[in-house]
Amino acid sequence: MKIALIQLAYSGSMDSMKDQYRSLIAEAAQRGAELVCLPEFSLIPYFPGARQPDGFNFAEPIPGGESERFFSQMAKTHKVKIVGSLYEEAQDGNLFDTATVHDETGALVGVTRKIQIPSGNGYHETDYYAGSDQFPVVKLDALTIATPTCYDQWYPEIARIYALGGAELIVYPTAIGDEPEDHVMDTQDSWETVMRGHAIANGIFIAAINRVGSENGVTFYGSSFVCGPDGRILARASRDKTEVIIAEVSRDVIKEWRWHFPLLHQRRPSVYGNILQKWSGDEAPEWMEETPLRKIKPTQGDLK
């Protein structure tokens, strides 16, 4: 299966983002992509970069919200599967950072809510939504995929659970850039390396789709990529340009890697109990916020 990753910057409005995607998704389809993957909050700004009540206005339902309808339309028009991302307000009022999967008929076949929610300058996500405790996978014709989001990519436990659940390709819609507390620090290599490790340890493909451009003082570093079960990079985008990158993924490649490295078969879960303990080592950084996870919209725009 050929997959496409679409990397781009927020252009100021949902309508202008749709215009960009219409062209870029068409390009991906013309280049043979069967699965097209979009960045975190595909049609909207990275609003958690600032603490402002207006951020809650971007929440929308699934199904039937503007983003979900657009993803469905594009999938059906171009006869491709699409992984998209949006800010979800569930029927019970709970708020989530959510990835969707539509098949080539436009049907919604997968919904995955972000698990790990970061907080801190430039990434005030706990102000706006809570994390999930579910690990769904979506069975497509060629591969079974999982679609956790952004900060989930730093946690090996999450990748392992998805692999044990049958995921052969993990797709991470992403919005990550420089560190507001240290603009000299560049985490791009670390970001890529940790996910390549997930691929190797689990014998799976990994795809991460990032933004470019700057919002609320954060410059996103692009570098969207796909890697194979051996960690080898199959395609990588630039740090600052709008791009469509294409890579081919195959179950046969997974089988070959796992034949040589049957790591999942040789696990010893009975001795891993300590993985469940809470961390009690060094203290949390002073800058780290202790804001509670917000579950529903505030009644009067109060972010405290």
Catalytic residue positions, numbered: 40, 114, 150
Token pair in block for residue 147? 């679609």
Measured distance CA(213)–CA(14) in Å, rounded: 16
Contact 59, 76 (CB under 8 A): no
CB proximity list for 157: less than 8 A, separation 6 or greater: 275
Cα angle vertex 72, ends 71, 76, to 5°? 115
| Helix, strand, or coil (residue 92) | coil
Residue 22: exposure state from Cβ atoms within 10 A (0-12, 13-18, ≥19): middle
253-256 long-range contacts (CB < 8 A, ≥24 apart) are 253/205, 253/228, 253/229, 254/168, 254/203, 254/204, 254/205, 254/229
Measured distance CA(33)–CA(4) in Å, rounded: 6
83 secondary structure, DSSP code = E
Give which of 52, 63, 49 is closest to 98, Cα–Cα: 63
Token pair in block for residue 70? 């657009």
Measured distance CA(277)–CA(31) in Å, rounded: 47
